[in-house]
Structure 1
């Protein structure tokens, strides 16, 4: 499921899009943010489905080989270890996954089956596949380890697949690293003889509401936040502060003032880490300094009202 950090990243992207476009259509941007966030789950499902489709393709190729006019003994008695892999079969037999695919009409790997062929070719020619097929080890643990490595070494780094996803949805290019980690965690949790149930995008209703609430409050108060940032950066003109840095500081201020259950230190740490991935080399230090000053001022003037674990 999506975590709070990636939720913040999605909000950051929408704030950036709205401020650079200089639009005031908040409703339209909120709808796009909701759509973009929901599409992330679709990417997650498509990545799981790729495992299933590659296994199906491998099975189909075995059946074709058996029917050859001059079939070899290997064609007639093939090694079926991969097409029998119980981890991928657990995914393929999941009713919740089938329902999601039907409801959302996800037929990408039928319409664009060349990508399934690309992944199968990369797998079938790999040492990973050769070692797995020749291994005498017969255990669910070994089968799962292979599937995880199949995803990590063959699917996740495939440039053609990444280009395809980016063409399908522009926001997916930033979502791919998060989704790849999510897939590995999902595969690792699959248990022998246990039904696979497709999880949820959000952990709970609080996380789901956090997306739009954070975005809305940042956009409604961003001018006021900008003035407060200026007071703490007297030696910096606003146009000298990187756009992403300004947005991240505004988002953090919003959490300080309008999200009482989120601890100050959690907010600061989250935006420092996001800055490391999305802004300049020195941004995390700059953001940390500004947020430290602001949080101390808010605390001393009683504007910082945290409750529960937020007091930590």
Structure 2
């Protein structure tokens, strides 16, 4: 579920919040990092729970229409295509998935029902909904494409939903685009015959990625003074405020990878932190970081310091 860039971003955020020193006990702050990473899975499951609630809302809506005896015949016999959507039923009836959501206490949409109402109304008023409900085509592939379309065009871009997630947990703002991409990828692959675990991804690709997160955080903190000194020698003509900002932190993380992670190529490290700087720091940050890191790498290579070795270098 998590890729290395998102792990780096989470480490960066945790380091930015870290106020301790090299001699402090890092266990508490390491737990904060792992909790922040774990929160991404919570967000994913919260979105799945939202789709479940929208499915329940369609059932409730149809029942209310049926109770209105004075309504037109079409209302007493409403179009139940959305309610019978095969993908939504696959999600709603997925016991493993729903049990995990309940265990992690993420089925909170019944308390914040107004957001479900807003989204359901938005969906019902859309052309996507009209076209789907009136389309004679049926089947899992057809139903799945409709859910993918409404999620892409109506649910994910909804400002009120985005604000809600931001209020719920601040770190979810950065996680939301990654979760959206992952969810859509899994939905496109799921089949009616897929196992219940298909929509329940692992947080980490493997144990190595989890260790990478902990090691990058811990080794950056424990070598903070050393990295500070090395960076200051390369930045005598730069504003000290820039080094005290996020740029300085990204440089330290890059140095940590240069020195403490021999299997990660220099080029990979530089490219990753340039992309993170473009997204999270100032417009000139990537140029600044690229110049400093390029100078450091050339120095290491000329002096044969911290050689790289591993599969990524073949």
Q: By the TM > 0.5 criterion, same fold?
A: yes
Check whether the contact 2:49–2:101 (CA below 8 A) recurs between aligned residues. Answer: no
Provide closer, same or farther for how the CA distance between residues 274 and 80 of structure 1 changes in structure 2, counting only shifts above 3 A: same
CA offset digits 1:53-108 (Å, max 9, x no partner): 10111111102211223242112322121111112222222232122123212221
1:294 is aligned to: 296
The alpha-carbon deviation at position 187 of structure 1 amounts to: 1.4
- Encode CA deviations 1:180-202: one digit per residue, 9 max, x unaligned: 22222121121233234111111
Distance across 1 between alignment mates of 2:139 and 2:30 = 48
208, 231, 236: which is aligned to 2:210? 208
Mapping of 1:64-79 within 5 angstroms?
Answer: 64-79=64-79
Q: Distance in 2 between matches of 1:226 and 1:242?
A: 10
Tell me if structure 1 keeps the 8 A contact 2:86–2:139: no
Are 2:258 and 1:256 equivalent residues in the alignment?
Answer: yes
1:150 aligned residue: 150
Aligned partner of 1:279 in structure 2 is 281
For structure 2, list consecutive stretches of 5 or more residues without a partner in the other structure. Answer: none
5 Å matches for 1:121-270? Answer: 121-197=121-197, 198-241=200-243, 243-270=245-272
RMSD: 1.9
1:234 Cα deviation from its structure 2 partner: 2.4
| In 2, Cα distance between equivalents of 1:277 and 1:134 | 42
Output aligned runs, 1:18-57, within 5 Å. Answer: 18-19=18-19, 24=24, 26-57=26-57
Q: How many equivalent residue pairs?
A: 311
Task: Report the more deviating stretch, 220-229 or 300-309.
Answer: 300-309
Residue 133 of structure 1, CA deviation: 1.2
State the shift of 1:22 in Å: 7.5
Runs of 4+ in 1 over 6 A off after TM superposition: none
CA contact (8 A) 1:115 1:161 kept: yes
Rounded Cα–Cα distance in structure 2 between residues aligned with 1:263 and 1:188: 33
8 Å Cα contact 2:46-2:101 kept in structure 1 = no
Q: Which runs of 5+ in 1 are unaligned?
A: none
8 Å Cα contact 1:94/1:195 also seen in 2? no
Q: TM-score, normalised by structure 1?
A: 0.93
Deviation at 1:203, TM superposition (A): 0.6
